[in-house]
Amino acid sequence: MLKDITIGQFFPGTSAVHRLDPRVKIVLTVAMIITLFLAAGPISYVIIIGFLAAIIGISGISPKLIVRGLKPVLFIIIFTAVLNLFYTPGDYIWQWGFLHISKEGIKIAFFMVLRLMLLIIATSMLTYTTSPIQLTDGLERLLGPLKKVHAPVHELSMMMSIALRFIPTLIEETEKIISAQKARGADFESGNIVQRAKAMVPILVPLFVSAFRRADELATAMECRLYRGDVGRTRMKQLKIERVDVCAMVISAVVLGSVITLGRFGL
Amino acid sequence: MSEIIKTEALTYAYPTENGLSAPVLKGVDLQIRRGEFVAVLGHNGSGKSTLAGHFNAIRLPTGGVCYVDMMDTRDESNTYEVRKTVSMVFQNPDNQLVATVVEEDVAFALENMGVPPAEIRKRVDDALKSVGMYEYRTQAPHRLSGGQKQRIAIAGVIAMMPRCVVLDEPTAMLDPQGRREVMEVVRELNHKYGITVILITHHMDEAVQAQRVVVMHRGNVLLDGAPREIFTQVDTLRDARLTVPQTIEILHELNVKDGANLKIDALSVTECADILEQYLQ
């Protein structure tokens, strides 16, 4: 069923990682990405791998899922590895025509692959353990200061959350329209690409018409419920920094800080 | 002043590309008193939904006036207060829920009103309990049935604590089970919370539950009175292309076809059965 698609691949849970304040998680993920680019030697990578493994362990998310998350970017990883392997000049240990492999190439390729994989694992841990609504909420509050320079932060996050609210509704509607058109003899499965693309028109047109009608009704309903944009609004759920959050921040600061320091010595 | 809503010679025409359409409302004079439970009945196109839109300043009169709690709805500076006084529940439950979580949706209006977080929490919990949806508070709305979604929409309104609620055909898209659930909550709004309820509907059995019935026909008020007075006027209702409750219909048919000369004001099945029993004896 189309309806069961998970958006942003969120796996609900109650672990400490899940309970962290979304703002803390977003900031720490960004810090992690920066650290990955500053890490230089094997010791740094061992520390980072250990740190990520601990996070995955605490979150209770199966390592299989983490590996599966790497699949879509496998091509990019291999491509980077091959380029680095064959095109890094230095102390050649193997040569054939214009292809050559150097000691430096092996080293750079290896760390590049490792860095990319860790990068993807770190960011997917954020989306695996944070619901989309929490993510939007966290982003809105993190970017809150930008409101002072009239950036439409609230409006953007409102749009995001309405989109999230309506994705399942619209998917359900698409399924209904597909069935209705099939019942009238529409054929979506045969023919070449152009014919199949044309067959989508009778699905898209009613879907768009209904989406606009829904948007109009929703806007009226929101006005009736006193929505005036970001004027004098309060929130029911206040994000609060709890003890878990403080712990997470301190541990991360120590780990990431030491990696960056080690990086300066090339370790 | 005891009226919460008052219209004087209210007319309305929809804007079209070439000026205004033919008027949908043609000089409606209506007064709704505080604490009343009013059903507005009418055939499709009778203007009943258009009229409801005026009570909440979604539509503004093209002629005449509409007062909500003595505020003129045409004055834009009143709009916010008008909508705080009169809330609205719409027909399609899917198109009025904003948030991805039930409790967040109920909190939406309160957040807009700037209510402090602790009080929002309390009012949201109370509202959800009063519609019997408290256990579903962390669910996503798209997993609920139509009747449940509509109850969430009503909880959102209860949490706002308005003085009047207008429900625009809230049961039109629901199955019989959902209709029963929603009507129960609507009755409670009036009985338990003392909120003025205006129910737009074309279901006779729902209108029967109100204290007062207003029948709209061709942009005007055709009949206005207690359900018993209204539904016994079978011929007038039929001219307005409305059916009458089945209990009254059967008695009326007996009177017309058999000359039974029965009292036809039976609003409930029990009343109807009693009259029939007497007749058969």
State pLDDT tens for residues A62-91. 888 888 878 878 888 899 888 888 877 777
Domain membership of residue A235 (yes or no) is no
Domain extent, residue A114, equals: 17-130+241-264
Do A190 and A217 fall into the same domain?
Answer: yes
Among B90, B100, B160, whose Cβ lies nearest the Cβ of A221?
B90
B110 neighbourhood in chain A, CB within 8 Å: 234, 236
Nearest-Cα distance to chain A for B279, in Å, is 51
More confident residue, A93 or B67: B67
Do A117 and A185 fall into the same domain?
Answer: no
Q: Do B83 and A223 touch (CB under 8 A)?
A: yes
In which element (H, E) is residue A46 found?
helix A42-59
Inform me whether the pLDDT recorded for A5 exceeds 80. no
Query: Residues 6 or more apart from B257 whose CB is under 8 A from it?
Result: none
Mean per-residue pLDDT, B205-234 = 89
Q: Scanning every residue of chain B, which has its alpha carbon at the shortest distance from the alpha carbon of A220?
A: B58
Annotate B170-180 with b (16+ C-beta within 10 A) or e (fewer). Answer: bbebbeeebbe
Tell me, what's the pLDDT at B1?
Answer: 57
Model confidence pLDDT, tens digit, residues B135-173? 998 888 888 999 999 999 999 999 999 999 999 999 988
Tell me, what's the pLDDT at A4?
Answer: 44
> How many domains does the structure of chain A reveal?
2
Domain membership of residue A30 (yes or no) is yes
Do A124 and A33 fall into the same domain?
Answer: yes
Is there a contact between B42 and B242 (Cβ–Cβ < 8 Å)?
yes
Cα distances (angstroms) measured from residue B153 to each of A46, A230, B23, B103: 53, 22, 31, 11
**Chain A touched by B71 (CB under 8 Å):** no
**For residue B86, what are the β-bridge partners?**
B164
Model confidence pLDDT, tens digit, residues A209-263? 999 999 999 999 999 999 988 888 888 888 888 888 899 899 999 998 888 888 8
Q: Find the largest Cα–Cα distance for chain B.
A: 66
Q: Do A234 and B95 touch (CB under 8 A)?
A: no
B130-134, long-range: CB < 8 A, 24+ apart: B130/B155, B130/B158, B130/B185, B130/B188, B130/B192, B131/B155, B131/B158, B131/B185, B132/B181, B132/B185, B133/B102
Q: Name which of B55, B86, B91, B96 to mutate to probe chain A: the one with the most chain A Cβ atoms within 10 A of its Cβ.
A: B96
Q: How far is A136 from A22, CA to CA, in rounded Å?
A: 9
Instruction: Kindly state the tokens that stand for A142.
Output: 């993190």
Is there a contact between B90 and A213 (Cβ–Cβ < 8 Å)?
no
A223 neighbourhood in chain B, CB within 8 Å: 58, 83
More confident residue, A35 or A187: A35
Is there a contact between B95 and A218 (Cβ–Cβ < 8 Å)?
yes
Instruction: Kindly state the tokens that stand for A74.
Output: 């496998």
Query: Residues 6 or more apart from B89 whose CB is under 8 A from it?
Result: B96, B150, B153, B154, B157, B165, B166, B167, B168, B170
Do A126 and A246 fall into the same domain?
Answer: yes
Q: Do B114 and A238 touch (CB under 8 A)?
A: no
Do A74 and A194 fall into the same domain?
Answer: no
Q: How many CB atoms lie within 10 A of CB A105?
A: 23
Q: How confident is the model at residue B118 (pLDDT cuts 50, 70, 90)?
A: very high
Model confidence pLDDT, tens digit, residues B35-66? 999 999 988 888 898 999 999 999 999 999 99
From B191, B179, B128, select the one nearest B158 (Cα to Cα). B128
Which B residues, 97 through 156, put their C-beta within 8 Å of a C-beta on chain A?
Answer: 97-101, 103-104, 107-117, 120-121, 124, 140-142, 156
Q: Do B80 and A228 touch (CB under 8 A)?
A: yes
Q: How confident is the model at residue A6 (pLDDT cuts 50, 70, 90)?
A: very low
Model confidence pLDDT, tens digit, residues A151-163? 888 888 889 888 8
Do A247 and A115 fall into the same domain?
Answer: yes
Q: Scanning every residue of chain B, which has its alpha carbon at the shortest distance from the alpha carbon of A4?
A: B143
Nearest-Cα distance to chain B for A244, in Å, is 22
Domain membership of residue A139 (yes or no) is no
Q: Do B108 and A169 touch (CB under 8 A)?
A: no
Domain membership of residue A126 (yes or no) is yes
Number of Cβ pairs < 8 A linking chain A and chain B: 92
A225 neighbourhood in chain B, CB within 8 Å: 87, 98, 108-109, 112, 156, 160
Architecture of the domain defined by B3-244: 3-Layer(aba) Sandwich (3.40)
Q: What letter represents residue B64's amino acid?
A: G
Query: Residues 6 or more apart from B68 whose CB is under 8 A from it?
Result: B4, B5, B55, B56, B57, B78, B82, B85, B86, B164
**Chain A touched by B261 (CB under 8 Å):** no
Domain membership of residue A98 (yes or no) is yes
Cα distances (angstroms) measured from residue A154 to each of A57, B101, B105, B116, B144: 35, 18, 17, 19, 28
Q: How many CB atoms lie within 10 A of CB A59?
A: 19
In which element (H, E) is residue A23 found?
helix A22-38
Among B58, B92, B114, whose Cβ lies nearest the Cβ of A224?
B58
Domain membership of residue A141 (yes or no) is no
Mean per-residue pLDDT, A83-103 = 79
Do A29 and A125 fall into the same domain?
Answer: yes
Inform me whether the pLDDT recorded for A34 exceeds 60. yes
Inform me whether the pLDDT recorded for B126 exceeds 90. yes
Nearest-Cα distance to chain B for A219, in Å, is 8
Annotate A33-42 with b (16+ C-beta within 10 A) or e (fewer). Answer: eebbeebbee
Q: Do A161 and B99 touch (CB under 8 A)?
A: yes
**For residue B19, what are the β-bridge partners?**
B16
Q: How confident is the model at residue A3 (pLDDT cuts 50, 70, 90)?
A: very low
Mean per-residue pLDDT, B265-271 = 81
Cα distances (angstroms) measured from residue A234 to each of A229, A239, B115: 12, 12, 6
Q: How far is A51 from A63, CA to CA, in rounded Å?
A: 14
DSSP letters of chain B? --EEEEEEEEEE--EETTEE-S-SEEEEEEEEETT-EEEEEE-TTSSHHHHHHHTTTSS--SEEEEEETTEETTSGGGHHHHHHHEEEE-S-GGGG--SSSHHHHHHHHHHHHT--HHHHHHHHHHHHHHTT-GGGTTS-GGGS-HHHHHHHHHHHHHHH--SEEEEESTTTTS-HHHHHHHHHHHHHHHHTT--EEEEEES-HHHHTTSSEEEEEETTEEEEEE-HHHHHT-HHHHHHTT----HHHHHHHHHHHHH---------SHHHHHHHHHHHH-
Q: How far is A145 from A122, CA to CA, in rounded Å?
A: 26
Inform me whether the pLDDT recorded for A7 exceeds 50. no
Tell me, what's the pLDDT at A26?
Answer: 92
Q: Do B83 and A226 touch (CB under 8 A)?
A: yes
Q: How far is A158 from A231, CA to CA, in rounded Å?
A: 13
Is there a contact between A81 and A113 (Cβ–Cβ < 8 Å)?
yes
Annotate B92-105 with b (16+ C-beta within 10 A) or e (fewer). Answer: bbbbbbbbbbbbbb
Q: How confident is the model at residue B7 (pLDDT cuts 50, 70, 90)?
A: very high
Phi, psi of B12 (to 5 degrees): -150, 135
Domain membership of residue A4 (yes or no) is no
Phi, psi of A11 (to 5 degrees): -115, 105
Phi, psi of B215 (to 5 degrees): -100, 125
Q: Name which of B81, B94, B103, B115 to mutate to probe chain A: the one with the most chain A Cβ atoms within 10 A of its Cβ.
A: B94
Mean per-residue pLDDT, A128-155 = 86
Tell me, what's the pLDDT at B18?
Answer: 83
Q: Do A233 and B114 touch (CB under 8 A)?
A: yes
Nearest-Cα distance to chain B for A220, in Å, is 8
Return the domain boundaries, chain B: 3-244
Pure H helices in A130-152: 132-142
A4 neighbourhood in chain B, CB within 8 Å: none
